[in-house]
Amino acid sequence: MTKKLLLLFDIDGTLTEPRQKITPEMIEQLEQLKDKENIDLGFVDGSDYCKQKEQLGQDKLNLFKWKFNENGLITFKENKEIHSNNSKYSKYSKNFKDYMGEKHFTKFINIILKNLAKTEIPKKRGTFIEYRDSVLNISPIGRACNQDERDEFEIYDELHNVRKNLIESIKQDWKNYCYFNEDSKPELQKINYSIGGQISFDVFPEGWDKTYCLQFVENEYDEIHFFGDKTYKGGNDYEIFNDKRVIGHKVETYKDTIKLLKLINK
């Protein structure tokens, strides 16, 4: 009996160059896979629908049976939304702000802003914090930078660990706040940080990483194969790559993904 497979992809650095559009060669491989009766395709990404549509294209989104926006806190199956983090199906039923409470969330933002201001790097632009329902995306250089500046920051970050150091500073300040604040509660310290893409990292409540999406597919397939590039500890693919429900495939760039898909398509 032929096994039923789900091929699940990260987007940035796996299906595309970071923040770039999907290539015709990648589309060709995905189209061939979609034609196989025993294979379904899906993607899981921390970004929202608009960014995914920008990179993959509106028409090519239909290649994917499963679309997991914001790590699966918003889930589409066959273009129909079947789950959102504010729905009755969610075990959390809250966004990040509601999870913390307005007072604590505002303090958390202030701590992030303070540490961003203290971060010394050659260039800074704009949009340093992007609030999504389930995730805060933090960028030391700012998401308003152009592609050349993205590339420059990525190299600088590899040499100086800007994002890693910023995360550690935020963690320590938040730990101190939670310890000394009389209104603190245990959930406030259950916050995860994961580096992704070229210029930023995500912050979210514990359990809201990419493994969140697996609850919707783990009983529908014989095997779930995940493809991602940030599979190291602290990377935003780490948890799902190492989950026992998944067979993980590490790639360095989208070109590695194409090579693996060609082998499957043979």
202 included as an active-site residue: no
10 included as an active-site residue: yes
Query: What residues have CB less than 8 Å from 199, skipping those under 6 apart?
Result: 139, 140, 141, 143, 145, 150, 153, 154, 157
DSSP for 93-107, written as a single string: ---HHHHH-HHHHHH
Catalytic choice (12, 45, 209, 237)? 12
The set of catalytic residues is 10, 12
